[in-house]
Amino acid sequence: MSQIENLAVQTPAHNDSLLRFMTCGSVDDGKSTLIGRLLYDTKTILADTLTQIERTSKKRGLEAVDLSLLTDGLQAEREQGITIDVAYRYFSTGTRKYIIADAPGHEQYTRNMVTAASTANLAIILIDARKGVLTQTRRHSYLAQLVGIPHIVVAINKMDLVDYSQAEFERIRASYLEFAEQINLQRSGRDITFVPMSALNGDMIVDRGDSMPWYQGPTMLELLEAAPAAHSERAEPFRFPVQFVCRPQASDNPELHDFRGFMGRVESGDIQVGDEVTALPSGLSSRVKAIQLGEAKLEQAITEQSVTLLLADEIDISRGDMIVRKNEAPSPVKQINAMVCWLSETALSPARTYIIRHTTRETKAKVGEIAYKIDVNTTEQLAAEGSLGMNDIASISFKLAQPLMVDRYENNRATGAFIIIDEASNNTVGAGMIQAAV
């Protein structure tokens, strides 16, 4: 039994945290219907929207409401060849808020799926019960593993078309686990859960239904309700990239004349007033004198809060520096090895200089070596040809002009990630996940 299955079968406590999750699957796997069913059965569809899709369903001669119409706009864009981006859906239950990233599944939209997955804490991978594990299933699973999504829910959909067969469910489950072992998907810190369901009929989505008495596990919504929030599963080091140094220039309040606050977002960990901290890359230390959130004064700042830190000592800190807890400081590095997804239609050129933006810090960088490319369909390593095209994923080393304060991506998704910018056009051309730093 997976971690979130264990949590789901326990008596659920009130959980007001936000869960970001991603859905992915082939066009015919029922992804749109699943999202529509979740929104419909949790009663989070606006009345006018529901009336509209009921009317459209009747015009098409359907007896029941076609819930996939809730995402038909995105499907129409695909059919017309318009540029596709990630579609986000928002809903909430009585206990939790959710953001769904509806990621395109086609190979040519790999960059969009990586974008959607980068902030997700759970991925729902749909499989058609009639077809089993396909190449697309393997590709989606590999990308979920690549970006470090800790919780994978394999939704085996359309069980109504295989007579709700437990044998078919177990066959697909065994096949998927065999593949997951090959790509090291089921490892420490990541769990896989399987749910048989029928998005069309609503079985095992929000309500259990009566068609699969052999399945005693939680429903899809119960799994979502029980999934741990991001940053909550293990202790993380305090990382605070400085966005802005606040120095009031004119004020009638004499207390603000010497005010010097460092504004930013707590990317991981937490900090309390009185804690000893170190500023990087200088390595100078001080103590947190005060924490402010707007006009309010706090005793503690936690992950994903945007706050202002005031230090006891005058230290030269500017935008792009990082404040960390003393004795938890990463060493500044000038070379990184990373898995990179190339986002641009213009190919990567090792002869060019790029800008790497890591948290709030930027530095120029040169490509050191392209070690290999990944075939996302087979997960095989291919020989690099000295360049990358759009949607290519490769292992690349970069030499940096200025030091960066980084963590490995598998240890910290916030400080282990970066984007690559074309210094001529200022366009974002790539996204990277740090594997090692020198």
Lowest mean pLDDT among 109-113, 118-122, 163-167: 109-113
Strands 18-24 and 97-102: parallel
Domain boundary pick from 325, 355, 384: 325
At residue 259, the pLDDT reads: 81
Q: Kindly state whether residues 10 and 132 are assigned to the same domain.
A: yes
Q: How far is CA 430 from CA 64, 378, 433, in A?
A: 44, 22, 10
Residue bearing tokens 């790497």:
356
Domain-embedded: residue 233: no
Domain-embedded: residue 60: yes
The number of distinct structural domains making up the chain is: 3
Q: Kindly state whether residues 56 and 196 are assigned to the same domain.
A: yes
Q: Kindly state whether residues 372 and 252 are assigned to the same domain.
A: no
Write out the residue range of the structural domain in which residue 409 sits: 333-437
Q: How sure is the predictor about 79, in pLDDT bands with cuts at 50, 70 and 90? A: very low
Pick 436 or 420 by higher pLDDT: 420
Residue 239: beta bridge partners? 268, 324
Task: Convert 282-292 to b/e letters by CB count within 10 Å (16 or more is b).
Answer: eeeebebeebb
Confidence check: pLDDT of 95 > 70: yes
Q: Kindly state whether residues 60 and 190 are assigned to the same domain.
A: yes
Reported pTM: 0.85
Domain-embedded: residue 234: no
Residue 301 belongs to domain with CATH number: 2.40.30.10
Q: Kindly state whether residues 152 and 294 are assigned to the same domain.
A: no
Q: Kindly state whether residues 309 and 374 are assigned to the same domain.
A: no
Domain boundary pick from 295, 325, 355: 325
Confidence check: pLDDT of 73 > 60: no
Domain-embedded: residue 378: yes
At residue 84, the pLDDT reads: 47
Q: Kindly state whether residues 397 and 293 are assigned to the same domain.
A: no
| Radius of gyration of the CA atoms of the chain, in A | 24
Burial of 105 (0-12, 13-18, 19+ CB in 10 A): buried
Token digits for 179?
Answer: 């593949």
Domain boundary pick from 226, 257, 278: 226
d(CA 244, CA 321): 10
Q: Return the DSSP state at 249.
A: S
At residue 135, the pLDDT reads: 86
d(CA 151, CA 218): 15
User: What is the pLDDT averaged over residues 329-357?
Assistant: 94
Lowest mean pLDDT among 46-60, 98-112, 120-134, 282-296: 46-60
Q: Kindly state whether residues 308 and 187 are assigned to the same domain.
A: no
Domain-embedded: residue 126: yes
Task: Convert 368-385 to b/e letters by CB count within 10 Å (16 or more is b).
Answer: bebeebbebeebeeeebe
Q: How sure is the predictor about 94, in pLDDT bands with cuts at 50, 70 and 90? A: confident
Mean pLDDT of the chain: 86
Domain-embedded: residue 232: no
Q: Kindly state whether residues 200 and 136 are assigned to the same domain.
A: yes
- Scanning 92-214, the segments in alpha helix (DSSP H) are 110-117, 135-146, 166-182
Q: Write the pLDDT tens digit of every residue in 135-148.
A: 888 888 988 888 88
Q: Kindly state whether residues 70 and 150 are assigned to the same domain.
A: yes
Q: Kindly state whether residues 357 and 286 are assigned to the same domain.
A: no
At residue 83, the pLDDT reads: 34
Q: Kindly state whether residues 157 and 244 are assigned to the same domain.
A: no
Domain-embedded: residue 85: yes
Which conformational region is residue 54 in: left (phi greater than 0), alpha (psi within -120 to 50 degrees), or beta? Answer: alpha
